[in-house]
Amino acid sequence: MNLTSPLLEIEDKSRVFEYSDRYILESGEYLAGFQIAYTVYGNPDSNDGNVIWINHALTGNADVHEWWSGLVGEDKFFDPKQYKIICTNLLGSCYGSTNPLSINPESGKPYFYQFPQLTTRDIAGALEKLRQHLGLEKIHTLIGGSLGGQVALEWSYLLGQKLDYSIIIAANAKSTPWIRGFNEAQRMAIQSDCTWGEEIAEAGKTGLRAARAIGMLTYRHPETFQQTQDDEEEKLDHFKVSSYLQYQGKKLADRFHALSYWVLTKAMDSHDIGRGRGGAHKALQQIKAKVLTVGIDTDQLFRKEESQYISEQTVDGKYSEITSSYGHDAFLIEYEQLQYILKSFYLYTNHGK
């Protein structure tokens, strides 16, 4: 019996891109070089017209088949036999890219709390450096959800005619006070951890567990909790939802670290496609790619109206919607709906309006 995964048979080994020059950030701060971990699935020698570039959400990684297995893989919508699929670990994240626990080449010590502020535009600019390094003249499709969608939107602006299709899922043109408020509450939870401020890798770990619990309340819809966490028996304490949030908090804290979470939620807060470009309307009008935005009817974090706004303001935009009780997380769960939406979008754009 062949136990080898079909996907792994056509996987190009994970790589690390090293950028050695000074990288100036929007804040005026800089990184004295950086690295980005990335993975290529499919035929690495296929032409630029078959490149699918995928951005992960807040705590994702470059192994896209792990967290989007319903879309990426053999005989899935994005099949590595047909496409060259690239996924990176975003700058600031702790899965192989430069982050607060990385060594600052100027001091020879980890950055810790001296890590500079990142914006979604800074993260997109780092991806552009990688694209240039790879010698890709064109990207067929750039796709991302949530934070990954914010970064994808910024990069779509930078790419201009080098991008054919931009697919922005459960994201927005500018972060709202609602999003920034929830992110601040999560960072307050991290700050309340007595280890926060210490220069150790585990700093803020308990606080991160609480932050994740707060986050889970925004990623799902009340109906989801009603369906899955309601207690049938009469209780005074030890409710199902309490155990669920404790479990989710520990699960994240065991695989992620609080400093990256801090940096990336700050980057999400910074998101504003129109900053320095005459406002969101003017900036979105400059995107050359065909744009699909996907909203979720029950998303309480990135409301569907924010996705609709992007499609309405871009020159060649289309909006579609996922119907789900899962809230914001539906784009990671509702594979059948998302495949149908993507297939319809490509057919729509290829055959005209």
What CATH number has the domain bearing residue 235? 1.10.1740.110
Q: At which of 242, 266, 290 does a domain end?
A: 266
Distance CA 241, CA 62 (A): 30
Average pLDDT over residues 272-284: 98
Give me the pLDDT at residue 295, please.
98
320-339 pLDDT per residue, tens: 999 999 999 999 999 999 99
Distance CA 91, CA 126 (A): 7
139-172 pLDDT per residue, tens: 999 999 999 999 999 999 999 999 999 999 999 9
Q: Is 283 exposed, middle or buried (0-12, 13-18, 19+ CB in 10 A)?
A: buried
Name the more confident of 349 and 258. 258
Q: Any idea which of 4-18, 90-104, 121-135 has the lowest mean pLDDT?
A: 4-18
Confidence grade of residue 9 (pLDDT, cut at 50, 70, 90): very low
Give me the pLDDT at residue 11, please.
54
Residues 39 and 162 in one domain: yes
Give me the pLDDT at residue 222, please.
86
Average pLDDT over residues 101-105: 97
Q: Is the pLDDT of residue 35 over 90?
A: yes
Residue 65 lies in a domain: yes
Residues 124 and 251 in one domain: no
Select from 90, 69, 91 the least CA-distant residue to 80.
Answer: 69
Residues 238 and 333 in one domain: no
Residue 320 lies in a domain: yes
Q: Is 5 a catalytic residue?
A: no
Average pLDDT over residues 259-279: 98
DSSP state of 49: G
Q: At which of 266, 297, 327 does a domain end?
A: 266
Select from 300, 343, 307, 342 the least CA-distant residue to 325.
Answer: 300
Confidence grade of residue 99 (pLDDT, cut at 50, 70, 90): very high
Give me the pLDDT at residue 238, please.
85
Residues 222 and 109 in one domain: no
Name the more confident of 348 and 152. 152
Cα–Cα distance list, 70 to 42, 142, 282, 330 (Å): 16, 17, 36, 12
Q: Is 146 a catalytic residue?
A: yes
Q: Is the pLDDT of residue 296 over 80?
A: yes
Average pLDDT over residues 85-108: 97
Q: Is the pLDDT of residue 1 over 60?
A: no
Please identify which of the residues 79, 122, 193, 299 carries the catalytic annotation: 299
Residues 189 and 292 in one domain: no
Reading phi first (left if > 0) and then psi (alpha if -120 to 50, else beta), residue 327 is in left
Residue 133 lies in a domain: yes
Residues 137 and 282 in one domain: yes
Residue 237 lies in a domain: yes
DSSP state of 57: -
Enumerate the β-bridge partners of residue 310: none
Give me the pLDDT at residue 240, please.
87
Cα–Cα distance list, 319 to 46, 58, 295, 312 (Å): 30, 23, 8, 8
Q: At which of 220, 249, 266 does a domain end?
A: 266
Residues 30 and 106 in one domain: yes
Bridging pattern class, strands 290-296 and 317-322: parallel
Residue 315 lies in a domain: yes
Q: Is the pLDDT of residue 353 over 50?
A: no
- Residue 329 φ then ψ, to 5°: -70, -5
Which residues, at least 6 apart from 231, have a Cβ–Cβ distance to it below 8 Å?
Answer: 239, 240
Cα–Cα distance list, 219 to 16, 193, 206 (Å): 31, 23, 20
Residues 240 and 152 in one domain: no
CATH number of the domain residue 287 falls in: 3.40.50.1820
Q: Is the pLDDT of residue 121 over 60?
A: yes
Q: Token pair for residue 271? A: 């998101």
Residue 206 lies in a domain: yes
Q: Token pair for residue 312? A: 């309405």
Q: Is 271 a catalytic residue?
A: no
Distance CA 121, CA 156 (A): 11
Residue 1 lies in a domain: no
Q: What is the DSSP string of 226-291?
A: HHHH--SS--SS--HHHHHHHHHHHHHHTTS-HHHHHHHHHHHHH-BTTTTTT-HHHHHHT--SEE
Average pLDDT over residues 204-215: 97
Q: What is the DSSP string of 140-198?
A: EEEEEETHHHHHHHHHHHHHGGGEEEEEEES--SB--HHHHHHHHHHHHHHHTSTTTTS
Residues 142 and 58 in one domain: yes
Confidence grade of residue 4 (pLDDT, cut at 50, 70, 90): very low
Bridging pattern class, strands 290-296 and 163-169: parallel
**Rounded (5°) CA angle 150-59-281:** 5
Mean pLDDT of the chain: 93
Q: Is the pLDDT of residue 352 over 60?
A: no
Please identify which of the residues 93, 97, 102, 146 carries the catalytic annotation: 146
Q: Is the pLDDT of residue 8 over 50?
A: no
Give me the pLDDT at residue 102, please.
98
Q: Is the pLDDT of residue 23 over 70?
A: yes
Residues 162 and 201 in one domain: no
- Structural domain boundaries enclosing 37: 6-176+271-351
Residue 125 lies in a domain: yes
Which residues, at least 6 apart from 1, have a Cβ–Cβ distance to it below 8 Å?
Answer: none
Q: Note the residue count of the chain.
A: 353
Distance CA 353, CA 348 (A): 6
Average pLDDT over residues 166-187: 98
Residues 104 and 238 in one domain: no
Residues 152 and 27 in one domain: yes
Please identify which of the residues 56, 221, 257, 328 carries the catalytic annotation: 328
Total number of domains constituting the chain: 2
